[in-house]
Chain A
Amino acid sequence: MMHFLLLFSRQGKLRLQKWFTPVPEREKKKIVRDMTTMVLGRKPRSCNFLHWKDLKIVYKKYASLYFCCGLDAEENELLALEVLHRYVELLDKYFGNVCELDIIFNFEKAYFILDEFLLGGEVQETSKQVLSRSIEASDMLQETMEEYMSKPAF
């Protein structure tokens, strides 16, 4: 299973953090620091896999954002790359040519999409279309209620 998924910028600013195991707040901060230091310190054409404690770390850079996840030792690293890629595709489809700013200003939506894709550290839906439809439907639910209340969402 995936233990955590982090998104951070080239300067080490955290844009998203998803934890699938209970970790104390201080420990979370430490892990984020370790991940950003390790990943940002990698040479440009290195392989995308690292070892950290007893976890496999898989990371990929998309434009200015690093997607970094920690996996159990028996997970398939190559498939993890595909998982990260799928998440990026989903974000891209939702936002239309997604960029870091989209994720900064709409972080809650990035979380909603992630929560439709992964659950408990495992992939829950393998079809892009099905997933997009669920998100759309949820959004509709939200907007309907907001329109009813005649107030904008946030």
Chain B
Amino acid sequence: MPAPIRLRELIRTIRTARTQAEEREMIQKECAAIRSSFREEDNTYRCRNVAKLLYMHMLGYPAHFGQLECLKLIASQKFTDKRIGYLGAMLLLDERQDVHLLMTNCIKNDLNHSTQYVQGLALCTLGCMGSSEMCRDLAGEVEKLLKTSNSYLRKKAALCAVHVIRKVPELMEMFLPATKNLLSEKNHGVLHTSVVLLTEMCERSPDMLLHFRKLVPQLVRILKNLIMSGYSPEHDVSGISDPFLQVRILRLLRILGRSDDDSSEAMNDILAQVATNTETSKNVGNAILYETVLTIMDIKSESGLRVLAINILGRFLLNNDKNIRYVALTSLLKTVQTDHNAVQRHRSTIVDCLKDLDVSIKRRAMELSFALVNGNNIRGMMKELLYFLDSCDPEFKADCASGVFLAAEKYAPSKRWHIDTIMRVLTTAGSYVRDDSVPNLIQLITNSVEMHAYTVQRLYKALLDDISQQPLVQVSSWCIGEYGDLLVSGQCEEEEPIQVTEDEVLDVLEGLLVSNLSTPVTRGYSLTAIMKLSTRFSSVNRIKKVVSIYGSSIDVELQQRAVEYNALFKKYDHMRSALLERMPIMEKTASNGPTEIVQTNGETEPSVPDTKLPPLITQPANQANDLLDLLGGNDVVPVIQTTLPTKPASAGGELLDLLGDLSLSAIPPMTAYNKNGLKIEFTFERANPNPNIAVITIHATNTTEADMTEFVFQAAVPKTFQLQLLSPSSNIVPALNQGSVTQVIRVLNPQKQQLRMRVKLTYTHKGSPVQDLAEVNNFPPQSWQ
């Protein structure tokens, strides 16, 4: 059989292949030849064949049939064979392979070989890919070699020990004695690997850390010698002596000095020296400075040193080299929590980095900018960040938008500014905001009562410009549905009110329904908004028509909504205005959590007295008008409660229990009404967490001998208040005080005005309907102060 072709020959041949298929053919042919050669147990050319196999493996072809051959090479006496054999083992025989363990014996023998380069091969292989079992078996040999005076072997043994410890941490103890005089070595290779070994041990074991703390003075001395010594040709890199060793020592010092005052003090001087004397013109000097800064920030250094470190980072930020700017931003991000003020001094430089062309730098700068926002700089920072949001790549927009919302929520100087900022984000990056921002924003808008007119006006104008950004469209349609009446009445105080008619508004909303740009969710929003406007606008017929069209929509969600709204027009028209009234104040449990909306089965809220209410609305609206008339149209807002007691006791009861857990301030209860045997008592609690909300529970009891059935409690409050009535526990007040009807009222009183209330009671007693109106003025001062 002719000699197998040489490695370089094969490489040359394969490179001439013009197509993948041609290459594959050559490889297959050669593999076949190699396989037969292996079968023949050819010792002479085994090395050559395995080398060729390794080349083909690098090209991506399978080479597993060479694994055993690598073992045979390792076992050979020839150095060339061993060299290729170990290389093959490292490439093909990781610990997942079955034959991996078979190497153990060979490695053990070679660790004791007479030639140091063979020992070196064994140490290298063990240290790169030894499995846990192998490490356990051979740890003793490694430990022996760690104590040798041969620096070539000692340095390799040290790193091999590091690998053993990583694989089998329990074996750490056995290396401890050998570390005794590692640092007294002059040889830099040994010094470097010893520092790595010590670092590994200290990171893994607090006991080791304590034990090695006493090495701090020695490490400081070594570092000092490196800096002070003159030019050393062996270790010089651009004028700096052995930067690799310097950095590793600085890292070990960091670990030893962390949370220990004495050690930190012992290294103060040398850190200051390195920080001030290192040459910064080349990357290598900056690498050392970088490590020094990290160490200074992590140990218990004195404040002067910390300021020095942050200033170094500040200088890094101005460096032309992108890598250095990047590294500075990452480090500042780590220290911004602990040294906030010092980092703030570099804020303008950091903000400039937002305009950098490099993507990695922009991202770091953005994260750092958000970390630096506080109450003092919010306006300026937000301007920069919004500008960044305008111009940045799409990959940043979602994170930036979320960051802006969070910062605005925490530090907004005024409600108007907050709403303007949100508008800006929605209009510039509207398609990138996260899904949960829509409900969060709606909640925010609802609670900014005085800004409703301004908000709806701005959102309406934004819709006229652009209906492609879904979150913006959703928030806008929701607001128009809620506050459309403010929009057409031109009530805006904050800016020039726009003139818009009901038809124009409905045009816009209907446009959303038919547009291809709208998602199904958006269509749902706009249909509901249109429906809500039926109690706020006069063009009810138009709305009815739209709603009935969508009763046959293909979209099931839309169809269902339309059918239900249709039903509302037809059979439940008397409930419509009650159902579609203003939303109550929504309380947030946590800034990122879902908004907790305390609601009843329907929505009960004050509706703005609307003299344009068409005559089609029957009973409840008339009742509302009655209350209005009685109150002399005097800025009082009626509350109408839904007559849906389908979930009586449970809903009310649970709510009461919840509220019972909230912090009680001891406000005395009061009797609000007491006539004809019906007594209504109010008890008070403060709502958690909003102190402006008073929670009143009414208790209605009946001293007569007959039950009061179909009991309905209604209340109205002055305009500066907002009121919400929850479901009553039942509609029957049992006779002779056998039980009571309870119901919860929540009153938002942001201006802390004196609480007054008009109540209307209706019930059936002994077969005849009873109705009464009363004013409640005797609220205790604590309930509204």
Question: Which residues on A are within 8 Å of B, measured CB to CB?
Answer: 14-17, 19-20, 22-24, 29, 43, 45-51, 76-79, 81-83, 86, 104-105, 107-108, 111-112, 115-116, 119-120, 122-130, 134, 137-138, 141-142, 145-146, 149, 151-154
Contact = CB atoms under 8 A, between A and B. Distances in A.
B360 A46 contact: yes
Contacts of A86: 237
Most buried by B among A17, A46, A145: A46
Given A22-B95, A76-B247, A154 B47 contact: yes
Nearest to B163: A120
A76 B291 contact: yes
Contact of A141 (B79, B96, B162): B79
24 contacts: A14-B59, A15-B58, A19-B94, A46-B322, A49-B326, A49-B360, A76-B291, A76-B294, A78-B290, A79-B247, A82-B237, A107-B58, A108-B87, A119-B123, A119-B124, A120-B127, A122-B159, A124-B155, A124-B193, A126-B244, A127-B189, A130-B234, A154-B47, A154-B51
Interface stretch (B3-11, B536-544, B696-704): B3-11
Interface in B302-337: 322-327
Contact of B234 (A129, A153, A154): A129
Contacts of A83: 244
B748 to A, nearest CB: 47
Interface stretch (B281-289, B376-384, B446-454): B281-289
B155 A125 contact: yes
Interface in B12-41: 12, 15
Contact of A127 (B55, B96, B115, B234): B234
A146 to B, nearest CB: 6
A115 B531 CA distance: 75
B235 A122 contact: no
A78 B287 CA distance: 5
Nearest to B81: A145
A138 B117 contact: yes
Q: How large is the interface on B (under 10, 10 to 19, 20 to 34, 35 or more residues)?
A: 35 or more
Interface of B: 6-8, 11-12, 15, 44, 47-48, 51, 54-55, 58-60, 78-80, 83-84, 87, 90-91, 94-96, 115, 117, 120, 123-124, 127-129, 131, 152, 155-156, 159-160, 162-163, 166, 188-189, 192-193, 196, 233-235, 237, 242-245, 247, 251, 283-284, 286-287, 290-291, 294, 322-327, 357-361
Contact of A120 (B60, B128, B189, B325): B128
Given A17-B58, A47-B326, A82 B284 contact: yes
A119 B128 contact: yes
Contact of B156 (A14, A19, A119, A129): A119
Nearest to B126: A120
A47 B6 contact: no
B189 A107 contact: no
B84 A77 contact: no
Closest 8 CB pairs of A and B: A78-B287, A47-B322, A154-B7, A119-B159, A120-B127, A125-B189, A120-B163, A79-B287
B51 A130 contact: no
Contact of A24 (B6, B96, B160): B96
A88 to B, nearest CB: 13
Contacts of B120: 116, 134
Contacts of A48: 322-323
Contacts of A142: 79-80, 83
Given A76-B247, A78-B290, A78-B327, A112 B360 contact: no
Contacts of B44: 151
Contacts of A111: 87
A31 to B, nearest CB: 13
A22 B129 contact: yes
A107 B52 CA distance: 11
Contacts of B324: 78
B244 A123 contact: yes
Most buried by B among A19, A22, A82, A124: A124
Nearest to B87: A111
Given A47-B325, A154-B48, A123 B359 contact: no
A22 B130 CA distance: 9
Contact of B54 (A108, A123, A129): A108
Nearest to A15: B58
A134 B290 contact: no
Given A47-B325, A126-B245, 19 more contacts: A14-B59, A29-B60, A47-B322, A48-B322, A50-B360, A76-B251, A76-B294, A78-B287, A78-B323, A105-B8, A115-B87, A119-B193, A124-B156, A124-B159, A124-B189, A125-B192, A142-B79, A146-B80, A149-B78
A102 B322 CA distance: 31
A83 B129 CA distance: 21
Contacts of B251: 76
Contacts of B83: 108, 112, 138, 142
B189 A126 contact: yes
B256 to A, nearest CB: 15
Nearest to A42: B359
Contacts of B360: 46-47, 49-51
A79 B244 CA distance: 7
B80 A153 contact: yes
Nearest to B191: A126
Contacts of A116: 120
Given A14-B58, A108-B54, A119-B127, A127 B235 contact: yes
Nearest to B244: A126
Most buried by A among B6, B15, B196: B196
A14 B283 CA distance: 28
Contact of B283 (A29, A82, A124, A145): A82
A153 B84 CA distance: 11
B56 to A, nearest CB: 11
Contact of A122 (B79, B96, B193): B193
A100 B115 CA distance: 33
Contacts of B55: 107
A130 to B, nearest CB: 6
A120 B162 contact: yes
Given A124-B189, A137-B117, A79 B291 contact: yes
B80 A47 contact: no
A48 B321 CA distance: 10
A137 to B, nearest CB: 7
B237 A145 contact: no
Nearest to B247: A79
A105 B287 CA distance: 34
B189 A77 contact: no
Contacts of B244: 79, 82-83, 123, 126
Contacts of A122: 159, 162, 193, 196
Contacts of B357: 43, 45
Contacts of A76: 247, 251, 287, 290-291, 294
A123 B242 CA distance: 12
B235 A126 contact: yes
Contacts of A51: 360
A130 B150 CA distance: 13
Contacts of A130: 189, 234
B203 to A, nearest CB: 9
B196 A82 contact: no
Contact of B192 (A19, A123, A138): A123
Contacts of B94: 19, 22-23
A16 B286 CA distance: 29
Contacts of B242: 126
B280 to A, nearest CB: 11
Nearest to B251: A76
A107 B84 CA distance: 11
Contacts of B193: 119, 122, 124
Contacts of B59: 14
Contact of A145 (B79, B247, B358): B79
A73 B98 CA distance: 32
A70 B708 CA distance: 79
Nearest to A13: B59
Contacts of B237: 82, 86
